[in-house]
Amino acid sequence: MQHRRREVGLVEYEAVIGLEVHAELCTASKVFCGCATTFGAPPNNQVCPVCLGLPGALPALNRRALEYAIAAGLALNCQIASTCQFDRKQYYYPDLPKAYQITQYHQPLCTGGCLEIMTKQGLKRVGITRIHLEEEAGKTVHAGSTGITGAQYALIDYNRCGIPLIEIVSGPDLRFPEEAKLFLEKLRSILCYLGVSDGKMEEGSLRCDANVSVRPVGEQAMGKRAEIKNLNSFRAVQAALAYEIRRQMELAASGTPLAMEEARAWDEQSGMTVYMRPKEQPHEYRYYPDPDLMPVVISSAWVEEIGRTIPELPDAKYDRYTRQWGLASHDAWLIAAEQKLAAYFEAVVESFSGNPKTVSHWVLGEFSRLLNLEKTAIDAVKIRPRDFAVLLERLAAGTVSGNTAKTVLETMFYTGQDPDTIIREQGLAQISDVQQLQELVAAVLAAHPGPVADYRAGKAKAFDYLVGQVMKATRGRANPEVVRQILIAELVPAEKPAKQ
Ligand code: ADP
Ligand code: MG
Ligand code: ZN
């Protein structure tokens, strides 16, 4: 039946995706030794007998690393194990000097959590199967040619060896490359909020393996999967998955689905996934409990204590912004996703007597434009949130026009001056004084008899032209609403009232 449907091209396939995300924890020292974890140090400068795997060296667990991993588990709604135990995963690779990796196999630290993402089809809950704590391997630098497939030799930097890492394993719940990206973005945002990872994909501190299979729509069983290793940008995750899904669907449609599970690599240059090796089975690693590391008891009091250090997370902020403050969903997420931006935004809202939506409009608009233009980090912004609020107050009170407010904000951005000083020193205050504007209008009307006649003859456009002339004469400072009212009063001939 299925065969026949496929033959006539009626089988529709769907993708099944599960991610294994690796996040380096930003502890000051490594997970089982005292070496520093600073990124970008000269190669092989942050190493010792423990992380180089020299005979006789013994590991000791970094308490902070364990606390960070527990915090991640709590934020992802997991159960936390009552003991922390480590296993050895044996395999040989040049970047792994001990020939085993200390990881958790028999009892992961965290299990059974979930993470919600906002997809085009609505809110989606993605399972977090488990999170475990382990050590990084060293970094292999392929050299001598472009792309890993053409490399002639490799260099190894052991600085990364022993940096604490958590592996976060999702359920096979994602269906589209776009969903995988949303999941990663959300996860990254949460880990950054917790302060347990810096989330820098470009430095490799966050990366993932993407598992993907395809199956006919409606089928429950999962097909054989490929695991695309070591993706290190949101773009790579999406592109690699899109390519691999198409490849597997074509194979399935032509009657030759994957016969074996396989590990593949993403080749950025060619835009293709490349076969690496058949997928290892767990028994091949000969996992066994690490005899050098005693189990650590995790009391519920300790877990609670860690729980109390967790700040308000992006989901809670998003809810507050949309429900209490009326922000549009998209805007709320853009702000909530980035902790520092959110804190800044909230500080402005706190000082501002008007609508928070006005603040989000300015923060995501002109302010973000300046941040991007100058590649300024939010920590380095010179505008004090209180001053930002004062500017918005001046705008609301009509002291400055919208356009002038942009100019003032720009000056604030570059100089850190307060808005009132800028408005005063540069003479930017809006002119709302009726008498002063009446004189200006009278002068403009006298100077432009043509447009005045046009307007009176019924050409509505001439009105805008005259408003423009008044604005020009005041370098944009005239209050346009007052100008319009005066112009209407001046121009309307008694027998032929204009609209408004
Ligand atoms: P490992 O890859 O280390 O053997 P698991 O078997 O637990 O570990 O799977 C890792 C990831 O692969 C998980 O995110 C899981 O959801 C996903 N996964 C497992 N089987 C499939 C499949 N058939 N298709 C797609 N994803 C899968
Ligand atoms: Mg795997
Ligand atoms: Zn060390």
| Strands 139-143 and 153-157, bridge-based pairing | antiparallel
Q: Provide the residues around ligand 2 (an ion) whose CB is within 5 A.
A: 20
Query: Is residue 147's pLDDT more than 80?
Result: no
- C-alpha to C-alpha distances, 399 to 110, 392, 402, 405, nearest whole angstrom: 56, 10, 10, 9
449-456 and 480-491 helices cross at what angle (nearest 10)?
70
Distance CA 170, CA 78 (A): 12
Categorize the per-residue pLDDT at 80 as very low, low, confident or very high, splitting at 50, 70 and 90: very high
pLDDT of res. 6: 43
Q: Which residue, chain included where needed, has tokens 């319009």? A: 484
- 442 CA → ligand 2 middle, Å: 78
Ligand 1 pocket test: which of 16, 170, 211 has the largest number of ligand atoms within 8 Å of its C-beta?
A: 211
Give the tens place of pLDDT for each residue, 86-103: 999 999 999 999 999 999
Give the tens place of pLDDT for each residue, 264-281: 999 999 999 999 999 888
pLDDT of res. 150: 74
Query: Is residue 51's pLDDT more than 90?
Result: yes
Shortest-distance ligand to the CA of residue 211: 1
* Average pLDDT of every residue of the chain: 93
Distance CA 36, CA 32 (A): 11
Give the tens place of pLDDT for each residue, 409-438: 999 999 999 999 999 998 888 888 889 899
Q: Which residue, chain included where needed, has tokens 């960070």? A: 68
DSSP state of 80: E
Please list, in sequence order, all residues whose beta carbon lies within 8 angstroms of the beta carbon of residue 312, skipping any fewer than 6 positions away: none
Buried b (16+ CB within 10 A) or exposed e, 270-303: eeebeebeebeeeeebebeebeebeeeebeeeeb
Give the tens place of pLDDT for each residue, 209-233: 999 999 999 999 999 999 999 999 9
pLDDT of res. 4: 38
Indicate the SS3 state at residue 96: coil
- 18 CA → ligand 1 middle, Å: 6
| Strands 164-170 and 122-135, bridge-based pairing | antiparallel
pLDDT of res. 146: 65
Query: Is residue 176's pLDDT more than 80?
Result: yes
User: Per the structure block, which two tokens stand in for 123?
Assistant: 């809110």
Query: Is residue 1's pLDDT more than 60?
Result: no
Average the pLDDT over 22-47 and give the result.
97
Shortest-distance ligand to the CA of residue 241: 1
Is ligand 1 within 6 A of the CB of residue 163? no
Distance CA 124, CA 182 (A): 10
Four-point Cα dihedral 330, 335, 339, 344, nearest 10: -170
Q: pTM of the full predicted structure?
A: 0.87
Q: What percent of the chain has pLDDT over 90?
A: 81
Query: Is residue 293's pLDDT more than 80?
Result: yes
Q: What percent of the chain has pLDDT over 70?
A: 95
Categorize the per-residue pLDDT at 446 as very low, low, confident or very high, splitting at 50, 70 and 90: very high
pLDDT of res. 149: 67
Is ligand 1 within 6 A of the CB of residue 170? yes
Average the pLDDT over 137-159 and give the result.
83
Distance CA 84, CA 80 (A): 9
Is ligand 1 within 6 A of the CB of residue 228? no
Q: Taking the mean position of all CA atoms in its chain, how far away is CA 268?
A: 22
Q: CB-hemisphere CA count at 13 Å for 457?
A: 7
Q: Taking the mean position of all CA atoms in its chain, how far away is CA 405?
A: 29
Helices (H) and strands (E) in the chain, counts: 17, 16
- 283 CA → ligand 2 middle, Å: 13
Amino acid identity for residue 120 in this structure: K
| Number of CB atoms found within 10 A of residue 40's CB | 6
User: DSSP labels for 377-429?
Assistant: -GGG--S-HHHHHHHHHHHHTTSS-HHHHHHHHHHHHHH---HHHHHHHTT--
pLDDT of res. 141: 86
- 164 CA → ligand 1 middle, Å: 23
pLDDT of res. 11: 83
Average the pLDDT over 33-61 and give the result.
96
Query: Is residue 335's pLDDT more than 70?
Result: yes
